[in-house]
Chains A and B, each alone.
Chain A
Amino acid sequence: MSTETIQQLKRIFNAESVALVGATDKEGSFGRLFVEGMRDAGCKKLYPINPKREEVLGIKCYPSISAVPEKLDLAILLTPPEAVLGLVKECVENKVGGAVVFASGFGELGPEGKELEKEIGRIGREGGTRIIGPNCLGFFNPRNGVVTYPQVLMKGVPTEMGTVGGVSQSGSFVDYLVWFLSTKGVRFSSVVSCGNEADLAAEDYLEFLGQDDQTKTIVSYMEGVKNGRRFFEVAREVSKNKPIILWKGGMSEQGARAAASHTGALAGSSAIWEAMFKQVGIVNVKSVQDVVECAVAFDYLPLPKGNRIAIITGQGGTGVGTADNCYAMGLEVPRPTERTIARLREVLPPIGTAVGNPIDTGVASLLDPGLYQKAIEIVADDENIDMILVISTPVPVCLENVAIAAKSIKKPLAVSVFALPESEPQLYADLAAKRVAAYSDPRRAVYVLSRLAEYAAFRRGR
């Protein structure tokens, strides 16, 4: 990316002075929801724009972008599509850094809309006002309080700064994703909805988040790419330092290609996308659940040094079945070292327990809730073990101990609580509050750990 573009993106993502065109105090409107939301999220210099209002919710209102006395970093255009072209021109005249275009009714409607969309993109880009959208939901940006996601605002999602960044070509998906992840304890750096990408595209945002020190993990939903070569190159660079968890929609094959060679006939679109993900180290996932569960694991846990897992459980049978899941997903369940076994023997009762792998604390864990913590710390010390899965009894005091141990060790630890979330919601809420990677099904915990191991191997160059 040109250094100019990255500077422009920095200004947009860190925007201090923000205009909201279409701000209003009318009950039940997005205009009001956004003013309230941004005010509460700490957007310091919010300029509501509405020629029919003197003020909105106690904030002084201006009749137009040009009337704002300060240079604007960002304008959010909450208007019908007909007004967008004129407003973008006004933004350019006033040297606004970027414009978020909410309106739909452009490229998705047909060739005429596509032309208008291109024109908006061109005028913005050439004039120095970079365009986000159209047909997008803009930002969930805790760093400057620019929050325009309806679901997020209605649910009162916390806007404290975090480490997960997001890029999504579906606005409503990412709106819900932020909400889902927030209930698991995840906090965000910046999340952006790309819309139709009249100007700025997913690869631009990805590059920005890749260079952004606040962002440690990136989640993404994509359907297509504007500049595939650039996406490939950007993703390859970003993945060297931070994981990109990406769900690609539209992978079903649109029929075989006409090709004059075997290679051409076999190189279908989805095969190439899959190959590209593997090549650049993208954590390629396939469902909402995958995105959520991987984001939690990648945000909370360190990367493992290898693919060897220890299972610590209070339920012998579940441990054995889960070991099968581990092998099926490419993880090894090795026997701990003799030293580890001897140390485990010292803390576990001799009857009804097992010290191989899976390590079974037996029913003793119900009587001595500290057992999990002791076992975890001993196993984490074993050089043959890279990561730990605890299948824990659904007893609050046991889980508290597991959470303490999870934070005290340097290896990734996922917890499977042996209880359904709908029967024990409080247990899961407590773990989320402590930012513990917790899953109801042990197999899901194995899945996320296997993805961590796979990405770690990519980072090691294997």
Chain B
Amino acid sequence: MASAKEIIEKARKEARAVLTEMESKELLRSLGISTTQMKLAASKEQAITVSKQIGYPCVLKVSSPDITHKSDAGGVKVGLADDAAVAQAYDDIMASCKAKFPAAFIEGVTVQEMARPGLEVIVGMATDPQFGPVLMFGLGGVWVEVLKDVSFKIAPLTKGDAAKAVREIKAARLLDGFRGSEPVDTSALEDILMRVSDFVVKTPQVKEMDLNPIFAYPKGAVAVDARVILGE
């Protein structure tokens, strides 16, 4: 497994500021953060072979350094149940992405395990011009954009800061289990915050990060999508 340093150096060499999803998740795993399993497939045939290895149902996402908003490009297909569905999804993704981004370099697709549903949260990092690296926690997925229910802490976080970041969001009750659902593992979320905090404090090259969504479970949490952006 490549180290975070190697992943960043590779992107730098290729004059890229945005790490691919694959690179971003590899980087997270090197920090000890769980992510969904994924593999690159450069052709339709390879996509089917990899899908069998990862197991159905699976997800296909376009892999291109030039396409960051994959859903908007029609580059994401979820809940693929068998070989035929994967083949169809591959064709659809290629057609749509090539139509919308004719100039984009497309490596192929990533085949990803379909994570079991959990409470969607976000852990993020941004660089504030005055205070430096800042961590964010909030409700994830589409809720980030709609509700903006987030909390911020300036890095480095203490364990107390991480616990407060999680508790301070307005929807904190959802974490405790709501209407019969089991409470989520907040200590796993705090652990992710601490790992990201430690990483960004000693890695000033990183400018922004989104781990969004993270699926939070009664036990553990998994980053389902991730984006790492490098600065100057």
Contact of B136 among A232, A266, A269 (CB under 8 A): A266
Pair A267/B152 contact, Cβ less than 8 Å: yes
Given contacts A228-B130, A261-B124, contact A266 B68 (CB under 8 A): no
Pair B229/A261 contact, Cβ less than 8 Å: yes
**Residues of chain B contacted by A269 (CB below 8 angstroms):** 128-130
Given contacts A228-B130, A276-B131, contact A262 B124 (CB under 8 A): yes
- Per the bound structure, the CA–CA distance linking A263 and B148 in Å amounts to 10
Contact of B145 among A259, A262, A278 (CB under 8 A): A262
- Write the B212-232 contact mask toward A (1 if CB under 8 angstroms, else 0): 100000000000000101000
Pair A232/B124 contact, Cβ less than 8 Å: no
Main SS class of interface, A = helix
Pair A267/B130 contact, Cβ less than 8 Å: no
- Per the bound structure, the CA–CA distance linking A348 and B5 in Å amounts to 74
- Per the bound structure, the CA–CA distance linking A269 and B131 in Å amounts to 10
**Residues of chain B contacted by A156 (CB below 8 angstroms):** none
- Per the bound structure, the CA–CA distance linking A262 and B69 in Å amounts to 12
Pair B132/A272 contact, Cβ less than 8 Å: no
Pair B150/A266 contact, Cβ less than 8 Å: yes
**Residues of chain B contacted by A267 (CB below 8 angstroms):** 126, 128, 134, 136, 152
| B46 CB-CB contact with A under 8 Å | no
- Total cross-chain contacts (CB, 8 A): 80
Pair A271/B210 contact, Cβ less than 8 Å: no
**Residues of chain A contacted by B26 (CB below 8 angstroms):** none
| A225 CB-CB contact with B under 8 Å | yes
**Closest chain A residue to B124, Cβ basis:** A263
- Per the bound structure, the CA–CA distance linking A263 and B128 in Å amounts to 11
**Closest chain A residue to B148, Cβ basis:** A266
Closest Cβ of chain B: how far from A326's Cβ, in Å? Answer: 22
A interface residues, how many (CB within 8 angstroms):
21
Pair B154/A261 contact, Cβ less than 8 Å: no
**Closest chain A residue to B153, Cβ basis:** A279
**Closest chain B residue to A257, Cβ basis:** B126
- Per the bound structure, the CA–CA distance linking A234 and B5 in Å amounts to 31
- Per the bound structure, the CA–CA distance linking A279 and B131 in Å amounts to 12
Pair A264/B130 contact, Cβ less than 8 Å: no
Contact of B154 among A266, A279, A461 (CB under 8 A): A279
Closest Cβ of chain A: how far from B205's Cβ, in Å? Answer: 15
Pair B130/A263 contact, Cβ less than 8 Å: no
| A433 CB-CB contact with B under 8 Å | no
Closest Cβ of chain B: how far from A227's Cβ, in Å? Answer: 9
Pair A262/B152 contact, Cβ less than 8 Å: no
- Per the bound structure, the CA–CA distance linking A259 and B229 in Å amounts to 10
- Per the bound structure, the CA–CA distance linking A229 and B155 in Å amounts to 10
- Per the bound structure, the CA–CA distance linking A232 and B131 in Å amounts to 7
**Closest chain A residue to B125, Cβ basis:** A263
Pair A228/B132 contact, Cβ less than 8 Å: yes
Given contacts A261-B208, A262-B124, A267-B128, contact A272 B229 (CB under 8 A): no
**Residues of chain B contacted by A261 (CB below 8 angstroms):** 124, 126, 208-210, 227, 229
| A275 CB-CB contact with B under 8 Å | yes
- Per the bound structure, the CA–CA distance linking A266 and B129 in Å amounts to 14
Pair B18/A262 contact, Cβ less than 8 Å: no
Which residues in chain B, 162-188, are within 8 Å of chain A measured between CB atoms?
164, 168
Pair A263/B126 contact, Cβ less than 8 Å: yes
- Per the bound structure, the CA–CA distance linking A279 and B156 in Å amounts to 11
Pair B210/A275 contact, Cβ less than 8 Å: no
In the A-B complex, the 5 residue pairs with the closest CB atoms: A263-B124, A228-B130, A275-B152, A267-B126, A261-B208
| Chain B contacts to A: CB under 8 angstroms | 17-18, 68, 122, 124-126, 128-132, 134, 136, 138, 144-145, 148, 150-154, 160-161, 164, 168, 207-210, 212, 227, 229
9 extra interchain contacts, Cβ-Cβ under 8 A, other than A260-B18, A263-B122, A272-B128?
Answer: A261-B210, A261-B229, A263-B210, A266-B136, A267-B134, A272-B131, A275-B151, A275-B154, A279-B161
| Chain A contacts to B: CB under 8 angstroms | 224-225, 228-229, 232, 259-264, 266-267, 269, 271-272, 275-276, 278-279, 461
